[in-house]
Chain A
Amino acid sequence: MKNRYALFFALLAGTVVLLFANVFVQQRMAVIVKEDKLVDESFAADGTPPIVAFSTMALGGFRGLIADILWIRAGDLQQKGQYYELVQLSDWILKLQPKFSTAASHMGWNMAYNVSVACKRPEDRWRWVRRGIQLMQEAVTMNPNDPNVYHELAWIYQHKLGNVLDDAQRYYKETMARQLIFIYGKHYPDWDALAAAPATEAALLERFPADHPAWLAILEYNQGDLARLFGEFQMNGDLPKELKDKLSPEDASVLDSYFRRKWLKKEWNVDAEKILAVDKEYGELDWLLPESYAIYWGHEGLAHTPGDNLALTRLILHSLVATFNYGRMLLPKENEISDFFLLVPNTGVIDATRTLYQKVMKSPEYNHSPFESLYENFLIDSIVTLYTYSQKDAAAQLFKELRTETKNKNARTMTLDQFVLNEWEDDITTGDFKQIGNELEGLLFTACLLIGYGDRDAAADHLALAARVYASYVRQHQDLDRVALPSFDEMKARTARAIIENYPPEIANRIRAELEEDLKKQEQAGAANASGSAADQEAANP
């Protein structure tokens, strides 16, 4: 009898001790869970999306089986080249297995890359890329702490839309810019205002309580049906005139910002507040371009994953470099997208790029060697670009860094001016007549175009550079007995004429205004030439 009770009490005591100890363990575990983001906060906060909850519960163990069947069916159909079911199947597979981020990444990549190239028309291609993006956006919602999905999404933006590998890449950029500018209202929206706008309907109602004149105006307009108002806003891109007239300018601006913020979130799943943060961190980006969105998603990915992530960092870096090279969109008419857009460098991101590079270099985790050459090339490019765009001071600073931080010989031995010219002349001395001609034409083209787009300083720099190149070439090849290049002015005028003929009137007019004299001279010279060549021709043919 005594033995039995003794055992029981001993076990009881042991249990109590263990439970007590467990409390400490649990606390430690909770901290780890939070740190390493092992639980998806977004799911926990809003609850599982109903369709996912339904499929998990209703289908039970069959969920995986059905997902497999759908997957194989999708692959099967794709082999046959029948794509029309793919969007639906991908959506279902994602809903059945929301946490399977690798599968989602694959499907998104598949639609954006493989299916899109199977279409001939750029509109169709855009549609498939967009579908891939939308699928990835949903995958991000389901897996907010998974770096894979962020990477895939950012990659599609940067590599597919941003890069120039796809034949339809200009179409992509144009369409994206068109859609975005409609939402933004203008090319460079006031991100501060948008970020400060109410984020939810509740916040809006707080801002405009029941007795506020703005709310009363809304009530008068359509009995306070915000949803319908939102719909109208999306259709027209602006508040209805009736309503706008009744609101004070500040209130109208707040309402406008609220809708735009909401619209942006709905269509592209990006938040104005976060865009502002990215802008502040990386420099002012042009948010009509895909590279900016790539940076956004890379940044989001880093924010949501514990520790550092090499892939995401590298992606951000590449996007920054791309932004530096082509990250600003010039439009013939401001705030109006046309297919005559021009992509020019965005020098605002240089600092951020440098900071990120240095961070990467300092970090012991990363293998440095691929980054070193990348950095060196980046510095050289940025120095040349800054110089060309007349930002000599910034160029000088970078030049100093190039001297000290890298192993570049030229930097150590030459001055800034020599260095830049050397970079340019490198191509000139080694190239032949055709190449030089192409180079010069390129420079002149850019110069004239910049005139057309209204950036006269940059144009002047380019012209200056073109002149120097021309002079340098003439100097180097004056002894050769070959058909020489046409005169510099003639080349300039010819290029200008080509642009005038092919580009919209806004651009043409600006060029005409700037280069009036040159063009007139060209005409007279051309008339003389024409008569001359006509005589030559007659002589040639009997």
Chain B
Amino acid sequence: MTAFLAIVKLTIRSAVRSHIFRLLLILLLLSIFLLPFTLMGDGTPKGEVQIFLQYCLGFAEFILCLSSVWLACSEISTDVENAQIHMIVVKPVRRAVVLLGKYAGVVLIHLFLLLIAAVAVYVFLSFRLSTSDISEQDRTMLQEQVLTARALYRPVRPDFNAMAQEELDRRIAEAKGHGQDVVQYRDDLGRQEAFREIRKELIATYGLISENESLFWQFEGLPKHLDDDDVIFLRYTIYVNRYYIQDQNSVRGQWAFAATYVRSDDDGNVVTDLVAMPEDDYLTAAQNEMVVPLRTSYFVYDGRAEVGFLNKDTKTSELNFEEGRGPFLLVRETGFFSNYCRAILVMAIGILSITLLASAVAACMSLPIAIFATAAYMLVGALANYMVTSLPNVTEFQAETKVTFGYRFGDLMLNLIVPLQDFFVTGYLANGELVSFPFIGLLFAKDFILRMLPVFLLGAWIYTRRELALVSKRG
């Protein structure tokens, strides 16, 4: 233990002396203290806070990741390269302990810096919010939508497979009824293809609402102990026709909410009523949030709720609630500070993971190659994640159609590699969404334990079995 602590201390001292580390530290300070003044929000206080949270913390985290990679590689590789490690491994210290000690040293520095950055950002934010002149309306919006932590509940996704199968059967029966012998339905392969086509179509058209028609969404799994004081938000995005951003304006419609209550006079029957809001104009192509106007005790019953929308628009042909874009129910779970701490926790896990990777790689390779290998890993991970999440949105590419090479490649890679974006949760903070503990736990298990730890163990094993005198530059 003494040996371990001594190595940790030594690593920290050595790290602090590194020039590049000092440079990155300056960059970190700049990003925390200077960046807020250069960021351009959209003019509203809410936008300002959002962009501040998103970018300030994001930059700080990114710089810390870079720094931890550099330091870990530098510490571990250079010791081997300039043979300083010889003095250590001839002592009764296990090599694994040496590696762990260096890892722990690098991690400690960066966790400390992360803490400082987090505190600085939080203080800055509080200061900014307390001094500036924000209107009451803006402040309320800020409190409700950003400076809070709300859990997102998605509507129950219909069973497209069952629906597609049903439709296919219906079509086959219909064809038979008409006496038609459709070639496609003859054999299994043709039927499968027809099934896929129908399924695609169903998913694509699911959210479309024609004039004077309505669509209802079910929500399950909501917390059961909600009372009237808990405010629930409805977040939705309506599109006209498809989700292209052109030709979007405002449309007329009506929201309806299901109220469930127990009738007191009868034999305690559970009654469900539909409460409709008055017709109103709703802006399209924008993410909107509104408070559910129904009392929560009526709205949520046994963890379930139902929301519907009626299309009263005469100008457009169809409204579209794009699959995956809502509507969502947002229930406040905890406060901003708690959420902030959770986000910092995720960032800390990120630093732990990345340093683990860098240590493992540096244990086997020389400095430039180690840095290159780590950078390559991170880049591939980021790119793969990008291909899978962002590309479909921009290229009008339905998520069910996984045919392009980029998407496939990204998908495959994500099973093996940890993408950097996993640890950047500032988007949640900026949208007032909860970073839940199950989420954090899953992240930790999936990324840190399942994917980074084996790499580290491999690296440590190699480190233990290496002929250290072989690589000495002094030959």
Contact = CB atoms under 8 A, between A and B. Distances in A.
Interface of A: 69, 72-73, 75-76, 78-88, 91, 114, 117-120, 124, 127-128, 131
B394 A84 contact: no
Interface string B391-421: 1011000000000000000000000000000
A117 B40 contact: no
B252 to A, nearest CB: 14
Contacts of B386: 69
B279 to A, nearest CB: 16
Given A117-B249, A118-B248, A131 B390 contact: no
Given A73-B390, A79-B393, A80-B325, A131 B286 contact: no
Contact of A88 (B40, B46, B243): B40
A75 B393 contact: yes
Contacts of B287: 80-82
Contacts of B44: 84, 124, 127
Nearest to B48: A84
30 contacts: A69-B386, A73-B390, A75-B393, A78-B245, A79-B245, A80-B287, A80-B393, A81-B285, A82-B287, A83-B42, A83-B286, A84-B47, A85-B50, A85-B51, A85-B54, A87-B40, A88-B39, A88-B40, A88-B41, A88-B51, A88-B55, A91-B40, A117-B249, A117-B283, A118-B284, A119-B283, A127-B42, A127-B43, A128-B42, A131-B43
A87 to B, nearest CB: 5
A327 to B, nearest CB: 28
Interface of B: 39-44, 46-47, 50-51, 54-55, 237, 243, 245-246, 248-250, 283-288, 325, 386, 390-391, 393-394, 430-431
A128 B386 CA distance: 28
Contacts of A124: 43-44
B321 to A, nearest CB: 12
B42 A87 contact: yes
A114 B41 contact: no
Interface of chain A, main secondary structure: helix
Given A127-B43, A131-B42, A84 B248 contact: no
Contacts of B249: 117
Contact of A118 (B43, B286, B391): B286
Contacts of A91: 40
Contacts of A78: 245
A235 to B, nearest CB: 15
A459 B51 CA distance: 53
A345 to B, nearest CB: 30
A128 to B, nearest CB: 7
Nearest to A113: B246
Most A C-beta atoms less than 10 A away, residue of B43, B246, B386, B431: B43
A73 B54 CA distance: 13
Contacts of A75: 393-394
Nearest to B288: A81
Q: Which 5 pairs from chain A and chain B are nearest by CB?
A: A81-B287, A118-B286, A84-B47, A127-B43, A84-B50
A75 B395 CA distance: 10
A35 to B, nearest CB: 38
Contacts of A80: 237, 287, 325, 393
A120 B283 contact: yes
A86 B42 contact: yes
A119 B248 CA distance: 11
B394 A76 contact: yes
Contacts of A127: 42-44
A88 B283 CA distance: 23
A88 B42 CA distance: 8
Given A83-B42, A84-B50, 16 more contacts: A72-B394, A76-B390, A76-B393, A79-B394, A81-B286, A84-B42, A84-B47, A87-B43, A88-B41, A114-B245, A117-B250, A118-B284, A118-B286, A119-B286, A124-B43, A128-B42
A84 B46 contact: yes
Contacts of A86: 42
Nearest to A51: B38
A75 B392 CA distance: 11
Nearest to B427: A82
A342 B250 CA distance: 28
A87 B391 CA distance: 21
A120 B288 CA distance: 10
Contacts of B243: 79
Contacts of A118: 248, 283-286
A87 B55 CA distance: 13
A345 B185 CA distance: 70
Contacts of A131: 42-43
B248 A114 contact: yes
Contacts of B245: 78-79, 114
Nearest to B247: A114
A69 B394 CA distance: 12
Contacts of B288: 81
Nearest to A84: B47
Nearest to B282: A120
A415 B386 CA distance: 72
Which of B41, B325, B386, B394 has most chain A Cβ within 10 Å? B394
A124 B46 CA distance: 12
A117 B54 CA distance: 25
Nearest to A91: B40
A352 to B, nearest CB: 35
Nearest to B39: A88
B390 A84 contact: no
Contacts of B51: 84-85, 88
B237 A72 contact: no
B320 to A, nearest CB: 12
Contacts of A69: 386
A128 B283 CA distance: 15
A159 to B, nearest CB: 15
B280 to A, nearest CB: 11
A124 to B, nearest CB: 7
A124 B42 CA distance: 9
A91 B38 CA distance: 11
Contacts of A114: 245-246, 248, 285
Nearest to A75: B394
Nearest to A92: B40
Contacts of A73: 390
Nearest to A85: B51
Contacts of B47: 83-84
A127 B40 CA distance: 13
Contacts of B286: 81, 83, 118-119
A114 B249 CA distance: 9
A380 B394 CA distance: 48
Contact of A84 (B41, B237, B325, B393): B41
Given A81-B237, A88-B51, A117 B248 contact: yes
Contacts of B325: 80-81
Contacts of B393: 75-76, 79-80
Contacts of B246: 114
A76 B421 CA distance: 15
Nearest to B430: A84
A212 B27 CA distance: 48
B45 to A, nearest CB: 11
Nearest to B243: A79
A81, A84, A128, A131 pick with most chain B CB within 10 angstroms: A81
Nearest to A128: B42
A69 B250 CA distance: 30
